[in-house]
Amino acid sequence: MSGQFRLAQISDTHIRTDDAGAAAGQLKRAMEQARDYRADVILLTGDLVNDEREDEYAALAEAIENPPAPLYLMPGNHDERTLLRSRFPQHAYLPREGPLHFTIEQFPVRIVALDDVVPGETHGLLRRSGAEWLESTLSAERTRPTLIALHHPPFLTHDLLFDTIGLLDAEEFANVVSRHRQVLRVVCGHHHRVAVGQAAHAPVIVAPSTSWTYGLAMDDGQRIAPRTSERPGWMLHAWTPTGGFASHFMGL
C-alpha cells in the first residue's frame, strides 16, 4: 500500500545472563518477525535488561546486532541510564546526560520518545521537566502525524498492582497531549500484557513482553501479577495517510 509506515514495537525484553539465552532468543525471534513484516523501524520501549547489569547490556548488544531496520532503545524501570549510554555509544540519538528523551524525524510518522523512569523506583513520572520537554517538542511540529512512546502506561488499567506502579502523573501527560491533535497514537510497555486505553484524544496501546506475560488482578483475593501461559509477543503498528493507525499483537 502506497505510503504505508510500519513500526515494530518490542518491549520488556528483560535480557539476562542466567537463562541460557532464552530472553535474548525471544528478542531475536521478534526481530526476525519484524523483518518478515518489512518493518521500517524497530523501537524497544524499556526494561531492556532484567537487573541493570553490564553483562546483561553486553548480551543485549549481541542480540540486536544487524537489525532488519533502524533500531532505537528506550529505558524502563529495570534499566540504568549510565550503562545504557556507555554500552551503546553508537546510538547517538541518546542524550549524553539527563533523561533519555529523543525524537525520530526521518519517517512519515514523527516518533517522540519520552523517558519517564524514576531511578530506583518501579513507577514512572512525567514531572514538570518532562511535561515541558514534551510540550516544547510537540509544539515544534504541529502538522506531522505523531506517535509518543514511553515505558509506563499513562492511564488506569484497573489492575491492582500496575495502577500503583504506572505513570503516576498521567493526568499531566494527558493535559499535554490534549493540546496536540497531531498525536495519533501513544505506545508503552511495563504491564507485560496487551491493554488499550486513552490519553486525551489519543488511543494508548500497551505492548506485551517478549519474555513472559502477567495475568490481570482486578478484585481483592485475585493473585497479583501471576505469570500466565498467554503467549508473549510484540506489537506491529501500521500507518497510512488515509487510514491512520492499526495496531496488531504479534505472538511469539
Taking 90 as the threshold, does the pLDDT of residue 4 lie above it? yes
Task: Say what the pLDDT of residue 24 is.
Answer: 98
Interatomic CA distance for residues 198 and 185, integer angstroms:
9
Name the pLDDT band for 1 (thresholds 50, 70, 90): very low
Share of the chain above pLDDT 90, in %: 99
Q: What are phi and psi of 239, to 5 degrees?
A: -135, 140
In sequence order, what E strands does the chain have?
5-10, 41-45, 71-74, 102-104, 110-113, 146-149, 183-188, 195-199, 202-206, 233-240, 244-251
Interatomic CA distance for residues 92 and 193, integer angstroms:
31
Task: Say what the pLDDT of residue 157 is.
Answer: 97
Task: Say what the pLDDT of residue 2 is.
Answer: 53
Segment 37-61 shows an average pLDDT of: 98
Interatomic CA distance for residues 198 and 155, integer angstroms:
7
Taking 50 as the threshold, does the pLDDT of residue 180 lie above it? yes
Task: Say what the pLDDT of residue 69 is.
Answer: 98
Domain boundaries, the chain: 5-251
Taking 60 as the threshold, does the pLDDT of residue 25 lie above it? yes
Segment 54-59 shows an average pLDDT of: 98
Segment 167-191 shows an average pLDDT of: 98
Task: Say what the pLDDT of residue 82 is.
Answer: 96
Interatomic CA distance for residues 91 and 146, integer angstroms:
22
What's domain 5-251's architecture? 4-Layer Sandwich (3.60)
Residue 141: helix, strand or coil by DSSP?
coil
pLDDT digits (tens, 9 = 90+) for 184-239: 999 999 999 999 999 999 999 999 999 999 999 999 999 999 999 999 999 999 99
Name the pLDDT band for 3 (thresholds 50, 70, 90): confident
Task: Say what the pLDDT of residue 210 is.
Answer: 98
pLDDT digits (tens, 9 = 90+) for 108-162: 999 999 999 999 999 999 999 999 999 999 999 999 999 999 999 999 999 999 9
Cell 516544547 -> residue: 136
